[in-house]
Structure 1
Amino acid sequence: MSAETSVPRPRESGLDISDSDLFRGLMSEAPFAFAFFDPSGRFVRVNSTFTELTGHPVESHLDRLPAELLPADLTALIESALRRIADEGLPVTDQPYPTRAENGDARHWTVSFFPIRGDDGVLGTALFGVDLTDRQMDKEELERSEERYRSLVESQQQLVWITSPNGGVIEDAPQWRAVTGQGLEEYLAHGWLEAVHPDDRPGTDEAWREALRGRTMFEWS
């Protein structure tokens, strides 16, 4: 009698990735807004993050048209996207939508729509929304900072340059244009030396390079 060797079978987890419970769990915990519309444009499912866009509880959306529940601007955005998807069958992405939180703070969202297809054709449309408020605030603060810097530069009586690490001028300096008459393209990089008297250029160039090497103040008159 020969002995048979049995190979242990892996334990089954009992988890099916298609389980509706798994889907509901993922959607409820997702940090993005989600909604699903049937082909008639009615809400089939939304998650709690989506309610931050609408201000209504999850259950009040179900089986209703956007126009029955939502403000006119959000309704128009959704209905326009659903019509385009029905006509073209292509996603509609990165639609900006500003809102205001309960405390009055402005929020900035971007919303995208994707057709969902099954074996029998289009099942409906999925909406995904991402809150970009922090990114938008960072961008606006950077723009304000740059504007303050430019205002400071333009108001100074002294010359202020912005250069690359090798010392080449890379941005406009209005005061230099006013003093020398050079155009922007003329003095970018090291073109500013052309405004110096030919007899003084070698010494000025060396003083500039020495300041770059030692990271010291450049003084020239």
Structure 2
Amino acid sequence: MKTRRLLAASIPVLIATTFAMVPLQAGAGSGVGNIPPGTQRDEDYRQSYAMHEVTNVSATTQKVSCYRPEVPFFTVGQARGYTGMTACSEADATTGEDIGLTAYPNQAGSVAGYPAPGPMRVNDHSESDLRVDPKNPNHIIGSSKWFASAEGYNHVLGFYESWDGGKTWPVQGHIPGYEGFSDNTDPVGAFDGYGNYYSLILPYQFAYANATGSKLYAKSKLPNAQMPAE
């Protein structure tokens, strides 16, 4: 009996060890990595939207955002499709943000010629980052570059917020407090476990060398004497 009890006790250990030593084999069924390329027709892809009730929503066109850039850049590239900076009035903006009718507090140290003469309309976006609130999956916040001039690569960071799973984005605008820098870049956000949202911002200064958009980073050329270079 003693021998049998020891044998019975050793069986589970042996089984567990055996399974642990057997390498996992890739499955032969369908799934990611097992579907040969080129097997889905364009029409099938288009119909999958309707089949799964997928719709596209353009978040950043639902509001008009404006802010006063630190460095103005009025394009010379209209022939290439650029629009440059477009002046924005208080009546044009629909976000409710401070559009910079007067210079922002962190633009107080700007040297002659800066900041821009007034608010400019945000006319382009790039590098979007989307985060879902872990306490409420219908609460989503996105951030992206908020361009006043795509040709001059002149932008701050902006955000857009949805409370209905992405159907509408009623709260959006530029992220305040960093307007005294020429650019804010590389949008990355995160929620903590309590539903608080954090945005990582990389601000830096530059000046334009000429009308083509070439940039100067020398400290003596920076537009805001009271702000760090980055």
Q: TM-score range by the shorter chain?
A: under 0.3
The structure that has the greater radius of gyration is 1
Higher share in helix:
1
Higher relative contact order (CA 8 A, sep 6+): 2
TM-score (norm 1): 0.24
